[in-house]
Chain A
Amino acid sequence: MKAKVLSIFLLSFFLGLSSCENFLEEEPKQFITTETFYQTESDATAAINAVYSSLSTFGAYRSNMLIYDEVRSPFGSMGPDPQGEQGREIDEMNVNSEVPQLMATWEALYEGINSANLVLENIPDANLNDEFKNQILSQAHFLRGVIYFDLARLWGNVPIILQSTKGDSNRDVTNSPRQEVLDQAEADLKLAAGEGALDGLPETWSGADNGRAALGAANGLLARLNLYQGRFNEVLNYTEKVMQSGSYSLFDNYADNFATANKYGQELVYIIDFHNDVDPGLGITRLLNPRNVRIGETNRDGQGRYVATQMAWDMFDEPGDIRLEQSFWIEFFDNRSQQQIVMDTTKAPYYVAKWKLDQAIAPWGWTAHAWPVIRYADILLMHAEAVNEVNGPTAQAFAAINQVRQRARIDANDPTHLPDLAGLSQDELRQEIYEERVREFLFEGSSFNDIIRTNRFSEMFPGVDAKFQWLPIPQRELDLNANLNQNTGF
């Protein structure tokens, strides 16, 4: 008996000795954790793809950006869709912190930031070749820059988060001033453009990588970022980089910008890409098409949820502008009444016709159109604006805006169709550029931002409280984080 007790005692003693620290640690095999990830090229590619995914969510460019950037502007509004309440408060300048769209956007953007931060933390130490690492890191900086730029233009003062979330980090963060958010976006975009520690994004992508951000996207966004801050010399610098790269030019036809077959084409400098079959597909064809217009072979009709206003229609006041018929539905077949409908072009609503259906799509009506964040036409108009602000209305400025106008003529040989601009004063040219931007980019995301960046909020929204230049920070975030402050007035 005694021997037995002793041997048990000894056994347990030795067992005790042998149980070193890792004895109970188990490496999970059936799924991936962050501890075992970020090792191979395919890991790194999947990690960066996840950042791209954040921008193609409903909260971001799949639907909500359209509400903030276009429906909120005087050129867009809620349409007659009785099911479509989403965004009414935003459209009517009556938004409050509990409007659910805000949370979806905030969530998508900060999820993207965390995903980008993970790439930036984990890829530098991975055993991968330097050129590949540079491409991945440049894309992560680019996308994080895009997101901080979006946060700065939508909310203004938001938390800047540069480390991925671990334990209880990133919960009690506080707002940074808007300028610092813009500066962070600029720092990221500059790294992506190769101005710093990284070689930057490649000049172009091809094959399976079509749709990734290339160098022109970083320079184009840097031009826009500087434009929003009135730094026109920098705008000149960055637009020239894109123009001189030789990688981009205008499509011959304006409509080509909105054809799914052309989405990796010469004019589209930076896009958010979508799929016609599965999530994520772009829903704007359905949202913008007139009610009762059948979407292709689906059982879905257009919703007419968001429409253009009289003010938008009135901007197309020059004869021979092909963009008028590309931008608005003039005539369409009503599936319910089985009749050809001719729109009343004397009063709103005006249905937006840019993203027409041009290929087979899934039953729920999503399309593979890309959302055009920056087109080459924008590079040209930013360039014209910057030249005009820095050097006045020189031939260089007129050349850039006229290039955009020439492409938009119905008949290129008819001198009355969108005639070349010349001999305008600086003020006159500035005004022409503002209006040209509305005609060229209607419902492409510039309308509201162009008003804010040019300090025309009170002019375009008479009687509206200036706080509505910004969105209120979502209530859930304020409820869960005492350090986070609401934007003034909300």
Chain B
Amino acid sequence: MKFRASYGITGNQEIGSYNSLATLSGTRAVLNNVLAQGFRPNRIPNDQLGWESTAQFNFGFDLSLFRGRLQTTFDFYNKRTDDLLYNLEIPRTTGFSSILSNIGSVQNRGVELTVTSFNFQKPNFEWSTSFNYSLNRNEVLDLGGQVTEFLTPFTQVRVGEPIGNFFGYQSTGLFQQGENIADNPQPNAQPGDRRFLDLNEDGTINALDRVVLGNGLPDYLFGINNTFNIKNFDFSFFFQGVIGIDIYNRSNRRIFTMDGRQNQIAAALNRWTPQNTNTNVPRAVQNPSDRSVNLNQPISDFIEDGSFIRLQNVTLGYTLPQSPLNKLGMKKLRVYAGAQNLLTITDYSGFDPEVSSQSANSLQPSIDEFTYPRARTYLFGLNLTF
């Protein structure tokens, strides 16, 4: 058994050259019927801009039992990132949309566990299983003093909460025929329209009614790999799981509008009609007049459970016996067939639950905006050693 512990501080200077200065970019005006060059600054100078730093404490142990047949690696970490570098959204009254800033502190704590078991070790039969598990908890500690929360286009960043909270309107079902809609916070609604939660009960649906709709970071991840060697055959498969994650299905948010302007997904067949009232898919209407219209605004119908278990890799191989090979001057010949991404078990309705279209933006994880799905790959191969 071995123990280890470490502590260190690392810096991150993901700041492009001269990003603290106000550079200018060109604009176009028209004078005397020809284009006239204009110049204006394209960012705000920020002479306070500095490195981001991460202090990390790590504790772990390696444990080997049963003469090495069961090996365990465990790690606990606690990371604190200060002066987080972020393109902070700022009011347009500045003339700009964002400024690269050191915005605050974020804590990440978690454990990582790997267990490898050599179940059988016989000359003609070997079987080993490897299991890994990781868990991370994230919390925003500070956003620079006075500010305690801010919004990115789809998420809310708030002190005391994790990053990645989707923020928008909670839909509470559909209006039905015979309801008294006029006395409702959405007096213009028609039967079959979405009903939204009036959080503060002020009799109108507005920005004050937005709530956290889910979180785009997983509760935990795991993987299981099994490897078999039976005589000359080898066989392995690897399952991967991500549990307790929400995905903002922005692809559907943008196309599943049922306003007659684009092709719809098949779920549109289950839309509300006077005959089909027991559904959560709203009615089709060319000019919806409710908050569903603003396609930039998350609504709860499009926040989905993104948990999945995926058969990531399967490989079957056969190594030819030595004797005929030696005559051909080869030391080893192995033929194999494999597949990647063969099977996914998930409730997510999009193409692929392994998404992020905003991968450059750490504050907006798990947003599926027409993300290209991972390919299913079949492999046939030959390993040849001379």
Instruction: List A residues at the B interface (Cβ < 8 Å).
Output: 28, 31-35, 37, 43, 45-54, 56, 82-83, 85, 88-89, 92, 94, 96-100, 103, 106-107, 110-111, 113-115, 118, 159, 161, 164-171, 173, 207-212, 260, 263-264, 273-275, 278-280, 368, 474-481, 484, 490
Q: Which residues of B contact A49 (CB under 8 A)?
A: 27, 29, 31, 36-39
Question: Which of B1-9, B230-238, B285-293, B365-373 sits within the interface?
Answer: B285-293
Q: A37-B39, A103-B92 are in contact. List 16 more A-B contacts (CB 8 A).
A: A34-B45, A35-B22, A47-B39, A49-B37, A51-B38, A82-B260, A115-B95, A169-B94, A170-B93, A171-B91, A208-B36, A210-B32, A273-B33, A476-B89, A480-B89, A481-B91
- Closest Cβ of chain A to B152, distance in Å, is 10
Q: How many residues of B contact A (CB 8 A)?
A: 51
Cα A111 to Cα B296 with chains together (Å): 22
- Looking at the assembled complex, report how far the CB atom of A298 sits from the nearest CB atom of chain B, in whole angstroms: 19
| Distance in angstroms between the alpha carbons of A471 and B94 in the assembled complex | 20
Alpha-carbon separation in the docked complex, A479 to B373 (Å): 34
| Bound CA span A208–B90, Å | 37
Q: Is the CB of B41 within 8 A of A273?
A: no
A52 touches B293 (CB 8 A): no
Contact A110 B22 (CB under 8 A): no
Q: Is the CB of B48 within 8 A of A167?
A: yes
B-chain residues with CB within 8 Å of residue A103 when the two chains form the complex: 92
Q: A37 touching B24 by the CB < 8 A rule?
A: yes
A454 to chain B, nearest CB (A): 29
A53 to B48, CA, bound (A): 31
Per CB-CB distance, the 10 closest pairs between chain A and chain B, nearest first, are: A114-B95, A50-B38, A49-B38, A53-B27, A50-B40, A52-B29, A210-B32, A46-B39, A273-B30, A165-B94
With A53-B28, A110-B92, A210-B31 in contact, is A94–B296 under 8 Å at CB?
Answer: no
Interface positions, chain B 49-100, Cβ under 8 Å from A, are 89-97, 99
**What CA separation (Å) do A110 and B23 show in the bound complex?**
19
Among B29, B34, B94, B259, which residue has its beta carbon within 8 angstroms of that of A50? B29
Output the least CB separation between A477 and chain B (Å).
Answer: 5
Q: Measured between alpha carbons, how far is A170 from B99 in the docked complex, in Å?
A: 13
Known: A115-B40, A475-B207. A28 touches B21 (CB 8 A): yes
The answer for the CA separation of A180 and B46 in the assembled complex, in Å, is 31
B347-385 at interface with A (beta carbon < 8 Å): none
A211 touches B207 (CB 8 A): no
List B contacts of A37 (CB < 8 A): 24, 39
Which residue of chain A has the shortest Cβ distance to B36 in the bound complex?
A49
Chain B residues with CB below 8 A from A54, complex form? 27
Cβ-neighbour of A480 out of B27, B44, B151, B188 (below 8 A): B151
A133 to chain B, nearest CB (A): 17
CB pair A33 B24 closer than 8 Å: yes
Please name all residues of chain B whose beta carbon is closer than 8 Å to the beta carbon of A278 when the two chains form the complex: 28, 35
State in angstroms the CA–CA spacing of A207 and B34 once bound together: 11
Chain B positions within 8 Å of A115 at CB level? 40, 95
- Tell me, yes or no, whether B386 is within 8 Å of chain A by CB: no
Tell me which of A98, A164, A173, A278 has the highest count of chain B C-beta atoms within 10 A of its own C-beta: A98
B297 at the interface (CB under 8 A from A): yes
* 10 sample A-B contacts, Cβ–Cβ < 8 Å, listed by A number: A28-B18, A33-B18, A53-B28, A113-B95, A170-B95, A210-B32, A211-B31, A280-B30, A481-B91, A490-B206
Among A48, A100, A107, the residue within 8 A (CB) of B294 is A100
Closest to A264 in B: B32
- B150 touches A (CB below 8 Å): yes
What's the Cα separation between A167 and B349 when bound, in Å? 44
B30 x A275 contact (CB < 8 A): yes
Contact residue among B40, B46, B93 (Cβ-Cβ distance under 8 Å from A47): B40
Chain B positions 311-366 with a Cβ under 8 Å from a chain A Cβ: none
Min distance, Cβ A386 to any Cβ of chain B, angstroms: 32
B294 contacts which chain A residues (CB < 8 A)?
98-100
**Cβ contacts under 8 Å, B90 to chain A:** 168, 171, 480
Q: Chain B residues with Cβ under 8 A from A166's Cβ?
A: 44-45
- Pair B33/A97 contact, Cβ less than 8 Å: no
Q: Which residues of A contact B91 (CB under 8 A)?
A: 170-171, 173, 476-477, 480-481, 484
Could you mark each residue 242-267 of chain B with 1 if its beta carbon is under 8 Å from any beta carbon of chain A, else 0?
00000000000000000111000000
Is B95 a contact of A111 with CB atoms below 8 Å? Answer: yes
Residue of A92, A368, A477 near B33 (CB, 8 A) is: A368
Name the distance in Å between A412's Cβ and chain B's nearest Cβ. Answer: 31
Q: Write the nearest CB–CB distance from B62 to chain A, whole angstroms.
A: 43
Chain B CB within 10 A, most for which of A28, A46, A49: A49
B31 & A273 in contact (Cβ 8 Å cutoff): yes
**Closest CB-CB distance, A489 to chain B, in whole Å?**
9
Cβ–Cβ contact A279 & B28, under 8 A: yes
- CB pair A32–B45 under 8 Å, yes or no, is no
Q: Which residues of A contact B260 (CB under 8 A)?
A: 82
User: Could you tell me if A159 and B39 are in contact, using CB atoms closer than 8 angstroms?
Assistant: no
Nearest CB of chain A from residue B159's CB, rounded to whole Å: 15
Asked if B24 contacts A34 (CB within 8 A), the reply is yes
Query: Which of chain B's residues have a CB closer than 8 A to the CB of A98?
Result: 207, 291, 294, 296-297
B23 touches A208 (CB 8 A): no
Residue of B nearest to A83 (CB): B261
Q: Contacts A103-B92, A477-B92 hold; do A56 and B40 have CB atoms under 8 A apart?
A: no
Interface contact B31-A212, CB-CB below 8 Å: yes
- The answer to whether B21 touches A274 (Cβ under 8 A) is no
A53 lies within 8 A of B38 (CB): yes
**Quick check: B29 and A34 within 8 Å, CB to CB?**
no
The verdict on A32 contacting B24 (CB below 8 Å), with A49-B38, A88-B287 known, is yes
Give the CA-CA distance A447 to B148 in the complex, in Å: 44
Query: Contact between B39 and A173 (Cβ–Cβ < 8 Å)?
Result: no
Q: In the complex, what's the smallest C-beta–C-beta distance from A21 to chain B, in angstroms? A: 14
Q: Which of B37, B44, B45 has the most CB of A within 10 A?
A: B44
Q: How far is the CB of B42 from chain A (nearest CB, A)?
A: 10
CB pair A52–B23 under 8 Å, yes or no, is no
Within 8 A of A (CB), among B150-192: 150-151, 188
**A269–B46 CA distance with the chains assembled, in angstroms:** 41
Q: How far is the CB of B116 from the nearest CB of chain A, in Å? A: 49
Q: How close is B235's CB to chain A, nearest CB, in angstroms?
A: 55
> Which residues in A have their C-beta under 8 angstroms from that of B34?
208, 275
What A residues does B89 contact at CB under 8 A? 476, 480
Contacts of B36 in A (CB 8 A): 45, 49, 52, 208
A169 to B94, CA, bound (A): 7
Q: How far is it, in angstroms, between the C-alpha of A412 and the C-alpha of B118 when the chains are bound?
A: 104
Pick from A85, A100, A168: contact of B296, CB under 8 Å: A100
Residues in chain B near residue A275, CB distance under 8 A: 28, 30, 33-35
B261 with A82: CB separation less than 8 A: yes
Complex Cα distance, B286 from A479, in Å, reads 30
